[in-house]
Amino acid sequence: MDATIQDYASSLALNQSQDDLFLFNSNFNLVRANGIRQRLTIPVLANTFHKEVQAVFKKEKAQGKSNPILVGAIPFDMNQAAQLVVPEWFEIVKPLDRTLSSFVDKDFVHHVCEHSFAPSHVDFLDMIEQVLSIFERGPLKKVVLSKILKLTLDRNVDVPRLLANIMAQNPSAYHFSVPLENSILIGASPELLIRKQGNKIFSNPLAGSAKRFGNADADRQAAKSLFNSAKDHYEHRLVVDAILASLLPVVECLNVREEPSLISTPTMWHLSTDIEATLPTVNPPSVFDLIKQIHPTPAMCGTPTLQAQRHIEALEPHQRGFFSGLVGWCDAEGNGEWAIAIRCAEVSENKVTLFAGAGVVPDSNPESEWLETSAKMRTMLNAFGIKEDVI
Ligand SMILES: C=C(O[C@@H]1C=C(C(=O)O)C=C[C@H]1O)C(=O)O
């Protein structure tokens, strides 16, 4: 193995205990933390959440910490317990150099001993057909349906090395590694729910996707078809409209383009919209207040939100837990950054669970949605160095 990747992987762990290293790396900040001073595990939607966040920060300040932070993960369903901690140790520094592709660890390879999807291919298609028939009967416009892939690998995963590989392969992503109770949630998300810095906020919803190709012509063609697809623009618009509707009552000034742009990850093309807004200077909402307004967007859930969420609960055979939830951090001033937990895996020794979803709208084709979710899993399969054809 290249010596540099080893150095790089161990520098990420910073000689801290690797089991509980929290990392979040964006274009703006690299946040690393470990240890637990205080834990906050109530649901974000609990009535007491705001009070408890304030109490946590007050206690830190009383102990001489001038700007403490909370880090962790928030589940897709905010009625479920969040996993937030005030760490013993943390640092917020400039993001790592994003030109890391030379660090790609070609010797990092895992073999798959067992794998299974939930739902199975047949059941996934059936789940989509059910939603398509619901569209014909009522006001439902979009539902994001997902599958998980459970893998048993030939050996336990070296998490710092996996993290280094994730970062090297996906230099522009939001990288994260979040210790959960019995596993680690780790990935390279392309999607930012919200960043708040002072009275400026920024969100970057994605929706509308196409698989990328190794062949340059085929890849360009895939991008072009996506950009010209009315179905994908519709899917995308529902997300942008929902975010704007949530933000409009709380912001002073909003800046958003009429039309989405195309962005790419190493495995996917997406339609993308940058949303910037300015908050009032008096009593601005905190990043958690904004999360409560916006999450889950129709990029992860659907339109209308509550109905879509009920259909997801009824149709998906798996619990999403933190998948399609949020990962990130916030400080006592109400600033923070929260990416959406997609293109990620839950890892525990040699057991790995991958997740991928796709927005279903009336023009969706069930098999295309299956293929899209499989293509989204490529990000993590590549990061593990899995060569077997499991998707
Ligand atoms: C749900 C996922 O991706 C989301 C769904 C997308 C879509 O339906 O086109 C695109 C990007 C993400 O907002 C995922 O990657 O698992």
Residues comprising the chain, all counted: 391
| Residue type at position 167 | M
* C-alpha of residue 359 to centroid of ligand 1, in Å: 7
From first CA to last CA, the distance across the chain in angstroms is: 28
Query: For position 190, what pLDDT does the model report?
Result: 98
pLDDT of residue 19 exceeding 60: yes
pLDDT of residue 8 exceeding 80: no
Query: For position 301, what pLDDT does the model report?
Result: 98
Pairing of strands 261-264, 268-272: antiparallel
pLDDT of residue 3 exceeding 80: no
Ligand 1 atom 10: the closest Cα is on which residue?
207
Ligand 1 atom 6: the closest Cα is on which residue?
207
Q: Which atom of ligand 1 is least distant from the CA of 300?
A: 1
Give counts: helices (H), strands (E), the chain.
9, 22
HSE (side-chain half, CA atoms, 13 Å) at 333: 11
Confidence at 5, pLDDT banded by 50, 70, 90: very low
| Reported ipTM exceeds the 0.95 cut | yes
| Residue type at position 109 | V
* C-alpha of residue 323 to centroid of ligand 1, in Å: 11
Between 277 and 18, the more confident residue is: 277
User: Do residues 196 and 334 lie in contact, with contact meaning Cβ atoms separated by under 8 Å?
Assistant: yes
Query: For position 303, what pLDDT does the model report?
Result: 98
Residue 30 main-chain phi, psi, to 5 deg: -115, 120
Q: Quick one: which of 292, 271, 266, 267 has its CA closest to 373?
A: 267
d(CA 115, CA 355): 13
Is the whole-model pTM more than 0.90?
yes
pLDDT digits (tens, 9 = 90+) for 99-118: 655 567 889 999 999 999 99
| Percent of residues, the chain, with pLDDT higher than 70 | 93
pLDDT of residue 264 exceeding 80: yes
Confidence at 15, pLDDT banded by 50, 70, 90: very low
d(CA 250, CA 245): 10
- 3-96+113-384: CATH topology is Anthranilate synthase (3.60.120)
* C-alpha of residue 65 to centroid of ligand 1, in Å: 38
Q: Which atom of ligand 1 is least distant from the CA of 356?
A: 16
d(CA 284, CA 307): 30
pLDDT digits (tens, 9 = 90+) for 186-216: 999 999 999 999 999 999 999 999 999 999 9
347 - beta bridge partners? Answer: 184, 352
pLDDT of residue 219 exceeding 70: yes
pLDDT digits (tens, 9 = 90+) for 105-159: 889 999 999 999 999 999 999 999 999 999 999 999 999 999 999 999 999 999 9
Question: What is the DSSP annotation of 154-207?
Answer: SS---HHHHHHHHHHH-TTSEEEEEE-SSSEEEEEE--EEEEEETTEEEEE-EE
Tokens read off for 307: 């109905």
pLDDT digits (tens, 9 = 90+) for 316-351: 999 999 999 999 999 999 999 999 999 999 999 999
The helix (run of H) or strand (run of E) holding residue 148 is strand 142-153
Query: For position 20, what pLDDT does the model report?
Result: 83
pLDDT of residue 7 exceeding 60: no
Tokens read off for 39: 């834990």
**Average of per-residue pLDDT values in the chain:** 94
Q: Which atom of ligand 1 is least distant from the CA of 299?
A: 13
d(CA 260, CA 250): 23
pLDDT digits (tens, 9 = 90+) for 25-84: 999 999 999 999 999 999 999 999 999 999 999 999 999 999 999 999 999 999 999 999
Active site residues: 142, 191
Domains of the chain by residue range = 3-96+113-384
